[in-house]
């Protein structure tokens, strides 16, 4: 009616939301929606979470739905997997995914393989989530990226969000999924605000697992990244745009199953590929993307070899200047693009 009267309608209301608050919203909405959902991990209840992701949830839902655990990853991951096997929907928080190595037998041998080994009769609807990859000044034992580790394993779905919408939509989808899902977040993004659309603010908002997003259209080169490096790619694209190079930036969102079709379509258009990740180079996510492109129809459209930008092949140093040189920076992406384009 307003349009018929010639009145100008305002755009849908978008707001700024931090990744931390987006994750908190997702947990709150799913705890409210399904009484089978519960959260457990170190300090998730009375302390409101080590990173305040679960802020206010213990007070709202109580001891049976938000559970503090001892410092025993193998123990509480095992409890969570057992609960999932009897159709509860646990969300198991690791204080950092570096500590998930203590529980890797439960994640892989118990959660990932059970549905297959039971011929589909025992689904394991569980989410393992927490910060992954480098933080700031926490050195080697707290800075490893596990995207390639968990992406290697059949039986798991693996998601890696960048923005607040990614975080909320993927966590809600993960909680509702009947398969075990590993959700790899970035501690350095928790306090970063992103624009969240009106649709993303609704309780029914989910992002399909296994679908990448084109964050920026471009014609000269395809940049593919996940988690925090997506932001670096957007910054590099802005720098390169001033020099006449238009980058297409793909936010992978999901590591397994990988949306290689979106990457292929982009490479067919741009004829160049650069992958960016914070993890180590050998057997990494970028290596898998390059292999899949080489094996598929998009290979014939490449005008130059694909280029990988990765973390350095060393355990993360503690010193800040060494740390900065061990993880991809905007300048590294700009250099890689120019190398791919031979400029």
Catalytic residue check, 152: no
By the 10 Å C-beta count (0-12 exposed, 13-18 middle, 19+ buried), 77 is classed as buried
Contacts of 179 (CB under 8 A, 6+ apart): 115, 123, 124, 125, 155, 156, 157
pLDDT in tens, 179-194: 999 999 999 999 999 9
pLDDT in tens, 240-266: 999 999 999 999 999 999 999 999 999
- According to the model, what pLDDT value does residue 131 have? 96
- Per-residue pLDDT at 5 exceeds 80: no
pLDDT exceeds cutoff 80 at 314: yes
Mean pLDDT of the chain: 94
| Average of per-residue pLDDT across 54-77 | 96
Catalytic member of 73, 165, 187, 264: 73
Which residue is listed with tokens 């100008």? 8
> Is residue 62 predicted with pLDDT exceeding 70?
yes
For residue 257, whether the previous peptide bond is cis, meaning omega lies within 30 degrees of 0, is yes
Lowest mean pLDDT among 5-9, 110-114, 291-295, 303-307: 5-9
Other beta carbons within 10 angstroms of residue 79's beta carbon come to 17
Amino acid 12: pLDDT: 58
pLDDT score recorded for residue 3: 46
Query: Does the pLDDT of residue 128 top 50, yes or no?
Result: yes
Does the pLDDT at position 7 exceed 50?
A: no
Report how far residue 115's alpha carbon sits from residue 308's, in angstroms, rounded to the nearest whole number.
Answer: 35
The CATH topology of domain 213-341 is Rossmann fold (3.40.50)
The pLDDT of 323-337, averaged and rounded, is 96
pLDDT of residue 8: 47
| Contact between 174 and 184 (Cβ < 8 Å) | no
Instruction: Note the pTM of the prediction, 2 decimals.
Output: 0.93
Region 115-129: mean pLDDT is 95
Which pLDDT score is estimated for 137? 87
Task: Check residue 141 and give its pLDDT.
Answer: 87
Location of each CATH 3.40.50.920 domain in the chain: 213-341
Q: Is the pLDDT of residue 6 over 90?
A: no
What percentage of residues in the chain have a pLDDT greater than 70?
A: 97
CATH class of the domain defined by 15-201: alpha beta
Once rounded to an integer, what is the mean pLDDT over residues 87-93?
97
Q: Where residue 13 falls among pLDDT bands split at 50, 70, 90?
A: confident
Q: Say yes or no to pLDDT of 299 above 60.
A: yes
Candidate list 142, 220, 226, 232, residue with the active-site label: 142
Burial 255-287 (b: 16+ CB within 10 A, else e): bbebbbebbbebbebbbbbbbbbbbbeeebbbb
Write out the residue limits of the CATH 3.40.50.970 domain(s) in the chain: 15-201
What are residue 182's DSSP bridge partners? 128, 158
The average pLDDT across 169-180 equals 97
DSSP string spanning 216-245?
E--SSEEEEE-STHHHHHHHHHHHHHTTT-
Q: What is the DSSP letter of 104?
A: H
Q: Residue 1: is its pLDDT beyond 50?
A: no
Q: Is 220 a catalytic residue?
A: no
């Amino acid at each position: 009616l307003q349009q018929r009267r010639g009145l100008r309608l305002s755009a849908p209301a978008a707001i700024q939301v931090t990744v931390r608050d987006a994750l908190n919203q997702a947990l709150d909405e799913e705890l409210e929606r399904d009484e089978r959902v519960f959260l457990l991990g170190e300090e998730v209840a009375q302390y409101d979470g080590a990173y305040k992701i679960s802020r206010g949830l213990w007070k709202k839902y109580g001891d049976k739905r938000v559970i503090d655990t001892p410092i025993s990853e193998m123990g509480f991951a095992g409890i969570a997997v057992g609960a999932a096997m009897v159709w509860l929907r646990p969300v198991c928080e690791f204080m950092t995914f570096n500590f998930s190595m203590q529980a890797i037998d439960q994640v892989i041998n118990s959660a990932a393989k059970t549905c297959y080994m039971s011929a589909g009769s025992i689904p394991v609807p569980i989410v393992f989530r927490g910060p992954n990859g480098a933080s700031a000044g926490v050195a080697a034992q707290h800075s490893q990226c596990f995207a390639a580790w968990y992406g290697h394993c059949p039986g798991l779905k693996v998601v890696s969000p960048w923005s607040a919408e990614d975080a909320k939509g993927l966590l809600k989808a993960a909680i509702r999924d009947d398969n075990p899902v590993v959700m790899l977040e970035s501690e350095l993004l928790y306090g970063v605000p992103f624009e969240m659309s009106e649709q993303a603010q609704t309780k029914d908002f989910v992002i399909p697992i296994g679908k990448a997003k084109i964050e920026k259209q471009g014609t000269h080169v395809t940049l593919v990244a996940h988690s925090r490096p997506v932001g670096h790619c957007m910054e590099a694209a802005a720098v390169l745009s001033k020099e006449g190079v238009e980058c297409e930036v793909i936010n992978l969102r999901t590591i397994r199953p990988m949306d290689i079709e979106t990457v292929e379509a982009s490479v067919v258009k741009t004829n160049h590929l650069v992958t960016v990740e914070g993890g180590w180079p050998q057997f990494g996510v970028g290596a898998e993307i390059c292999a899949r492109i080489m094996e598929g129809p998009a290979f014939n459209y490449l005008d130059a070899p694909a280029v990988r930008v990765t973390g350095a092949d060393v355990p993360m140093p503690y010193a800040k200047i060494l740390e900065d040189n061990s993880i991809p920076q905007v300048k590294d992406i700009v250099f890689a693009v120019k190398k791919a384009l031979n400029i």
